[in-house]
Amino acid sequence: MSDTHVKELVELLQLERLEDNLFRGQSRDIGTRFVFGGQVLGQALSAAQQTVDASREAHSLHAYFLRAGDIDAPIVYSVERARDGGTFSARRIVAIQHGQPILNCAISFQVPEKGLEHQSSMPEVPDPEDVEPMHRVPPEELARLPVKLQRWLGSDGPFEFRQVWPRDELHPAKRPPIQHIWLRLTSPVDDSPALHRALLAYASDFHLIGTSTLPHGISYLTPNLQMASLDHAMWFHRPFRADEWLLYSFDSPTAQGARGLARGQIFSRDGALVASTAQEGLIRLRDE
């Protein structure tokens, strides 16, 4: 089954080309109420990559989520070729559903070149083999949740996650806004670096804004909580494979005004910092 989920995700990121700068993608219902934000990020990156010379690699992505996506409708990606310089290319992407933009995105590409090097050190955490896989919600508690959440929590996906510090999302305790999670695809995929970047863009939306809820004893399963990603930024630093273990380290420096800010660093198993992320999200507690 794991191979099937990975194959479905790879196919999801391989968009249909309608015109030189126009692409169409489908959606996969993974149990979320709306289209998963990581899917739109991965597809937007996939669309932009198809308009750039293969020698140029994406190094930064900046996106705004404008509207919730409809799982039952295709998404059209319109790419504007903003600039092609000597070593850099810039693209603007608009994801459209039902005639309205659901995401605006800017992505920059660069011809690889050598330069100065330094990086943050990877946190000292147990190896993924020494961390237990994430536990499923007990059947009796799962049965009390909405049907879509049951599908989200009760099924496997294309990525495996192992939390260094596990958390009970149904009964969350207050703790500092820091977490470390190992992740990888559940089966191998092709060697294409562009594919691996799109896959990591997809996975980068998992658990990020949730880090901002940790000090408050709430989670995305809290009944009166409204959570939504507002924007997403991502920088690709070094080569990696999404089908090998990566450590995603999160922190949240602030939450205020019904918004939380979370940051992430993604390391390969040998300690190389391969990508960084940042996201601001809506965190609104409604009256009971």
Does residue 124 sit within a domain? Answer: no
Task: Report how far residue 197's alpha carbon sits from residue 239's, in angstroms, rounded to the nearest whole number.
Answer: 9
Does residue 239 sit within a domain? Answer: yes
Catalytic residue among 43, 229, 252, 276: 229
Active site residue 229: yes
- Domain range for 247 is 2-112+134-285
Does residue 121 sit within a domain? Answer: no
Task: Report how far residue 18's alpha carbon sits from residue 20's, in angstroms, rounded to the nearest whole number.
Answer: 7
Catalytic residue among 108, 179, 205, 268: 205
Q: Tell me, what CATH number does 138's domain have?
A: 2.40.160.210
pLDDT at 230: 97
The angle at the Cα of 184, spanning 35 to 33, to the nearest 5 degrees, equals: 15
Does residue 280 sit within a domain? Answer: yes
Does residue 120 sit within a domain? Answer: no
CB atoms within 10 A of CB 269: 15
Domain count for the chain, please give it.
1
Query: Hey, is 117 helix, strand or coil?
Result: coil
pLDDT at 222: 87
Report which secondary-structure segment, H or E, holds 7: helix 2-13
Active site residue 205: yes
Does residue 26 sit within a domain? Answer: yes
Does residue 118 sit within a domain? Answer: no
Q: What's this model's pTM, rounded to 2 decimal places?
A: 0.94
pLDDT at 1: 42
pLDDT at 223: 84
Packed helices 2-13 and 193-203: angle between N→C axes, nearest 10 degrees: 100
pLDDT at 162: 96
Does residue 127 sit within a domain? Answer: no
How do the pLDDT tens digits run along the chain, 288 residues long?
Answer: 458 999 999 999 999 999 999 999 999 887 778 999 999 999 999 999 999 999 999 999 999 999 999 999 999 999 999 999 999 999 999 999 999 999 999 999 999 999 999 999 999 999 999 999 887 766 777 666 766 566 656 567 899 999 999 988 888 999 999 999 999 999 999 999 999 999 999 999 999 999 999 999 998 888 889 999 999 999 999 999 999 999 999 999 999 999 999 999 999 999 999 999 999 999 999 875
